[in-house]
Chains A and B, each alone.
Chain A
Amino acid sequence: MGEGSGTSVAPALSLTAITKRYTEAPVLFPTSLEVQTGEFVTILGPSGCGKSTLLRIITGIIEPTGGTVRLDGTDVTHLPPERRDMAIVFQSYALFPHMSVGDNIRFGLKMKRIPRAEADRRFDHVVGICGLTPLLRRMPRHLSGGQQQRVALARALVMQPTLLLLDEPLSNLDAKLRDSLREDLLELHRETRSTSLYVTHDQTEAMSMSDRIILLNEGRVVETGTPRDLYLDPKMRFTAEFLGQTNIVPVTAEGRSAGTPWGQAIALRAPAHGPSQVSLRAEALRISPDTSGPATVTELQFLGADVLYSVDCGGHAFRVRRDSDAPLIDRGTRVDISAMGDATPLQDTPGEAA
């Protein structure tokens, strides 16, 4: 999981076999991960998967039951939060309500006793790139959600931390603002090259922003990879289903080839034998009207750029995406169905397999 990067420099963050149990059931099974300097990594998972616990362990708000947290190669597992070189952007922003925007941003510089000249330089820079100059004297309660978000970000960035942690920073905002702030965040990341660990349950956010995604479920790392790899070539069933919409297709495998329910033989990227499952994205399936075809259109939804068809094939329901400029296929039409490209046989997630 993220190991073997081949660099001799220690990763910005490295977790080794971190575990956490509160009373009986473990919240985190031994979890290891690394974030390289300059990387934007997302921990993605459904609520209750342990991602908040993991974040709190990294920041030092709670102590792990076992394992090691290293920052730039230094063991910080038992250091209090104030002695770890990281900054957090909270979901709630956690701006100090009794301080002006300017004082909120200066707070960390004062606490860490950054020399005046250096502090002023950093302050001016961050305020500039976050566009906060007109708001410096305002109190947090007089700011909109998006403005508060930018202040929280500036307050973290001004620390120039080894690691920037972002805990669902966009989830309290409405959809439109979220999109524009997502772009702002990416731009800031490119500009500051800050090593960032982003935590979210939103797969769209994770895929659009990250260099790498660490998918977490039930206290375990399910799979790690680039957004493209995880989306197009998931190794785990959980990954396939959590990222975007997909069809889990039952197949009969024979080495590098597998037979689909509609009788097509598709190539496998890894050998398998007997009954197996593959993930075929809705856009990887093709249908065309054919009176002797094996499938029937049961439902269609016009989505603008494309049309989402529900298709029944021998008792299995599949979803197929077609460009909307192609002629519509009516409900009840018999169709021929085929898959494009090859697929990887899916494994069940570690938690469920155990």
Chain B
Amino acid sequence: MIRKNVLSLLLLLLPGIGFLLLTFGLPLWWALTGSIGLGPGGVGFTFDHLAMIFERPAYWRGLQMSLYYAITPTVLTLFIAVPLALLLQQPMFGRKLLNGLYKIPLAVPGIIAAFMVLTMVEQGGFLDRILMHVGLRMPRIVRDEWGIAVVLTSIWKDTPFMALIITGAFGAIASDMVPAARSLGASRLRAFLAIELPMAMPGITAAALLCFVKSLGSFAAPSILGPTYPMPLPVLMYESYREGKWAEIYAMGTVLIIAAFLVLAAYYTLTALSLRPGRESRQ
């Protein structure tokens, strides 16, 4: 009887789990096995390709660059998106208009955003020509060593995305929470820091994670606006693809996936710890 139940349960789960395994698990498996030299066209089990990423400067710096392009805009965007989300909660003149306008970058594809930033901030570009009238020049921020234009593009694209999620997180806080905190003696600022911010934190970290993973794989902005050396891993993957070096592609893909998973694992560990009951009570 029990065995029959297990069988029917497995059958019932198959459409969902099977779909995931087929579309997500299988390619992931190929990437992982490919990166250690197994699978079709492989040279046999070896860690050489993975080791290469940490040994050859172009790849090692590429990994660092990928993490830089993912972390920097995510952190900077947080400082814009959280105040923006709070502003959008306030009853004020023109709120509906602002609420619609700020989402526009969401509708612009990444490559177009990259070209928009290019024509705006490049030396000889739009801003440069305006500044020239007052005797100033744009600093070099396209293809500079800090990849400033790349970071700017990510911020421009990520701000509405993050603000949308964070607005939802703040909006979900019951309307009595802040009055309750203030009636207990908390100023507006302390009510925000002690009540609203911790309560919105799951939404804020989720938004930051999604932006991090999105930027970790960004391709258009770094290849158009970024310095030619070092290139982030997604751009290097494309170059390897043009040269047909599949083992390297698998290796770089695997390293990127592991980097993303490490961040996710850290996130879940932290949230699980912070939700453990009784954590904040003192004796």
Contacts and interface: CB of A to CB of B under 8 A. Distances in A.
B183 A88 contact: yes
Interface of B: 174, 176-177, 179-188, 190, 194-195, 198-199, 277-282
A67 B187 CA distance: 25
Contact of B278 (A61, A96, A100): A100
Contact of A137 (B190, B195, B198, B278): B278
A103 B184 contact: no
Nearest to B279: A100
Given A59-B179, A94-B177, A94-B179, A111 B280 contact: no
A87 B184 contact: yes
Nearest to A139: B277
Interface of A is mostly: loop
Interface in A150-205: 155, 159
Interface of A: 59-61, 80-82, 84, 86-88, 90, 92, 94, 96-103, 107-108, 111-112, 136-139, 142, 155, 159
Contacts of A98: 198-199, 280
Contacts of A86: 183
Contacts of A82: 182-187
Given A59-B183, A92-B174, A111-B185, 17 more contacts: A59-B179, A61-B179, A61-B182, A81-B182, A88-B183, A90-B179, A94-B177, A96-B181, A97-B199, A98-B199, A99-B280, A100-B278, A103-B280, A103-B281, A111-B184, A136-B281, A137-B277
Contacts of B188: 80
A100 B277 contact: yes
B185 A96 contact: no
A88 B179 contact: yes
A298 B185 CA distance: 60
Nearest to A111: B185
A223 to B, nearest CB: 29
A93 to B, nearest CB: 8
Nearest to A62: B179
A101 B195 CA distance: 15
26 contacts: A59-B183, A80-B187, A80-B188, A82-B182, A84-B183, A87-B183, A87-B184, A88-B179, A88-B180, A90-B179, A94-B179, A96-B177, A96-B181, A97-B199, A98-B198, A99-B280, A100-B280, A102-B281, A103-B280, A107-B184, A108-B184, A111-B181, A136-B281, A137-B278, A142-B277, A159-B185
